[in-house]
């Protein structure tokens, strides 16, 4: 369904929320890297946002049905790139999750997530005659999601691996399962958690034991979350002021321009800054829920809810982590954390949401 005017019914409110978050992000990344090694991170983040914006408009202008028709080769291409990454990717801090093209590095898994969203959406939306998913259908859907998961887990990048799961989870929940099936799946998932313990690396186990008992090792693995809480707590209601966070400035905060960017916001802009940030993130997610509900067909609905699943999980995990509510994983905060691949993928995903919204009326 081609819209005559590419600007017709564009979701300027959602786009405005994204840009506002991006602005906070650039300022706080600049603050976080002021005395560190990566002085140019804020500038580079601006470039990623620029490229992301272009991507967002391109995707929003495209009919999501046409994108969905490309899924067989897109999906295969995604698998191919993940295989290439596994074989020839750049090793960064223990996992092979980057590929290098010219002067730039990409994390293909961020983009593959979007492809999986579309693939799952297409599969689920084509099951029209069923009230509840059969076991066979659940397994098929799990395979669509499972192949990339295995490839990412092999890198091994466990944080990113986990972020694939909500795509499947949200899709299955909305598509509908017999209550007994749902209970069995939840039980399997819960049982799988302790079974995965022997496969975890020591630092990952530390993160989990430390999450259960945060005070056990404040100098070792609990250090980062403890410092993050100190930064946020000491920020108070209104913050210490931009560029004035001592935790940030003195380098007490770990990976502060990437995973712990919200700690910098909390320290320098206080509860007010956090409330605005979370409000904007919440608004974006609500906009996705609303868009999904008003989608003209199931394909659009599942696509938007897949995107919702990814970023809902990102927000919950990252925000929960910085205040010690969730165990530590290297999952970035959407639109806030420094990182080219995650920023561009998030903007493209939002383009998908807008594309669905623009075509919500059946004409």
Partner 1 sequence: MRLRDDIELLRSRIGLMGYLLVAILGVLVFGFWQLQVVQSSHYSELAEKNRIKEIRLVAPRGKIYDRNHKVLADNRPSYNLILIRENSPHTIDETIAMLVNGIGLSREDLLQKINRKGKDPSYQPIVLKEDVGVGDLAYVMAHAYEMPEVSVEYQPRRLYREGRLAAHALGYIAEVTEAQLLDSPNLKPRDQVGKTGLELIYDSILRGVDGSRHVVVNNSGREIETLPDEIPWVAGNDLYTTLDFDLQKAAEDALGDRVGAVVALDPRTGEILVLVSKPAFDPNLFASGISGLDYASLRDNPDTPFQNRAIQSMQPPGSIFKVFEAAAALESEQITPLDRVYCPGSATYYGTRLGCWRPAGHGSVDLYGAIVDSCDVYFYNVGNLLGIDRISQFAKMAGFGRKTGVDLPNEIAGLIPSEEYSRRVKKMAWKPIETIMVAIGQGQIGVTPIQAAYAMGGLATGGRLKQPRLVEPGQLRKLGFESPAVQTDQYQIHESTVDTVTKAMWGVVNDGGTGDSAKVVGFDVAGKTGTAQVVNKSSYKKGSDTEDHAWFLGFAPYRNPEIVVAVIIEHGGHGGIVSAPVARAVLDAYYKKKTGNFNAGTAEKVARLMTPVP
By CB under 8 A, tell whether 363 contacts partner 1.
no
Shortest Å, Cβ 318 to partner 1? 10
Closer CB to partner 1, 148 or 222, in the complex: 222
Contact with partner 1 (CB under 8 A): which of 305, 333, 350, 356?
Answer: 305
**Which one of residues 149, 151, 274, 353 is an interface residue with partner 1 (CB under 8 A)?**
274
Q: Which of 352, 222, 337 is nearest to 287 (CA)?
A: 352
Residue 134: which residues within 8 A CB-CB, separation 6 or more?
none
Q: How far apart are CA 320 and CA 172, in angstroms?
A: 24
DSSP-derived secondary structure for 271-296: HHHHHHHHHHHHHHHHHHHHHHHT-S
Give which of 257, 231, 238 is closest to 26, Cα–Cα: 257
Q: Which of these segments, 43-51, 63-71, 72-80, 277-285, binds partner 1 (CB under 8 A)?
A: 277-285
Near partner 1 in 205-264, by CB under 8 A: 218-219, 227, 229-237, 246-247, 249-252
Q: Residue 246: which region, alpha, beta or left (left: phi > 0; alpha: psi -120 to 50)?
A: alpha
Among 48, 75, 98, 312, binds partner 1 (CB under 8 A): 312
- Residue 183, Cβ neighbours under 10 Å: how many? 11
Closer Cβ to partner 1, 141 or 231, answer by number: 231
Closer of 155 and 247 to partner 1 (Cβ): 247
Q: Cβ distance 115 to 74 under 8 Å? A: yes
4 part of the interface to partner 1, by CB under 8 A: no
Q: Check residue 278 for interaction with partner 1 (CB under 8 A).
A: yes
In the shown chain, the binding pattern of residues 129 to 168 toward partner 1, with x for contact by CB under 8 A and - for none, equals x---------------------------------------
Quick one: 29 or 304, whose CB is closer to partner 1?
304
Site mask for partner 1 (CB under 8 A), range 93-132, x = bound: -----------------------------------xx---
Contact between 361 and partner 1 (CB under 8 A)?
Answer: no
Query: Quick check: 301 binds partner 1 (CB under 8 A)?
Result: yes
d(CA 51, CA 56): 9
State whether residue 259 is helix, strand or coil.
coil
Q: Let me know if 139 is exposed, middle or buried by CB neighbors in 10 A (0-12, 13-18, 19+).
A: exposed
Cα–chain center distance at 141: 20
Site for partner 1 in 26-85 (CB under 8 A): 35, 37
Binds partner 1 (CB under 8 A): choice among 77, 154, 182, 316: 316
DSSP string covering 128-192, please?
-S-SS--HHHHHHHHHHHHHHHHHHHTTT-HHHHHHHHHHHHHHHHHH---HHHHHHHHHHHHHH
Measured from the CB atom, is 58 or 130 closer to partner 1? 130
Q: Which residues bind partner 1 (CB under 8 A)?
A: 35, 37, 128-129, 170, 173-176, 218-219, 227, 229-237, 246-247, 249-252, 266, 270-271, 274-275, 278, 282, 285-286, 289, 292-293, 297-298, 301, 305, 308, 312, 316, 319-320, 323, 325
């Amino acid at each position: 369904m081609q819209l005559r005017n590419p600007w017709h019914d564009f979701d300027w409110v959602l786009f405005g929320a994204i840009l506002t978050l991006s602005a906070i992000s650039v300022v706080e990344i600049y603050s976080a890297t002021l005395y560190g090694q990566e002085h140019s991170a804020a500038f580079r983040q601006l470039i990623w946002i620029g490229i992301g914006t272009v991507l967002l408009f391109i995707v929003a202008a495209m009919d999501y049905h046409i994108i969905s028709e490309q899924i067989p080769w897109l999906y295969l291409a995604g698998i191919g790139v993940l295989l290439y990454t596994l074989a020839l990717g750049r090793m960064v801090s223990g996992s092979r999750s980057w590929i290098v093209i010219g002067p730039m590095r990409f994390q293909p898994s961020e983009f593959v997530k979007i492809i999986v969203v579309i693939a799952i959406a297409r599969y689920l939306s084509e099951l029209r005659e069923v009230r509840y998913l059969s076991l066979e259908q659940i397994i098929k859907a799990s395979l669509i999601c499972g192949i990339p998961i295995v490839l990412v887990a092999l890198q091994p990048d466990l944080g990113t691996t986990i972020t694939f799961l909500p795509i499947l989870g949200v899709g299955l929940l909305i598509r509908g399962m017999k209550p007994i099936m749902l209970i069995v799946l939840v039980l399997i998932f819960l049982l799988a958690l302790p079974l995965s313990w022997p496969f975890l690396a020591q630092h990952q186990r530390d993160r989990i034991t430390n999450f259960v008992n945060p005070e056990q090792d404040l100098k070792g693995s609990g250090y980062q979350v403890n410092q993050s809480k100190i930064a946020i707590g000491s920020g108070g209601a209104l913050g210490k002021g931009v560029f004035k966070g001592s935790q940030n400035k003195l380098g007490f905060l770990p990976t502060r321009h990437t995973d712990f960017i919200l700690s910098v916001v909390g320290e320098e802009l206080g509860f007010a800054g956090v409330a605005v940030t979370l409000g904007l993130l919440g608004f974006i997610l609500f906009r996705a829920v609303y868009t999904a509900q008003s989608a003209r067909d199931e394909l659009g609905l599942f696509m938007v809810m897949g995107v919702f699943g990814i970023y809902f999980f990102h927000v919950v995990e990252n925000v929960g982590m910085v205040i010690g509510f969730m165990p530590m994983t290297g999952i970035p905060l959407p639109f806030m954390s420094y990182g080219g691949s995650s920023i561009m993928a998030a903007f493209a995903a939002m383009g998908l949401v807008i594309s669905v919204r623009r075509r919500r009326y059946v004409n």
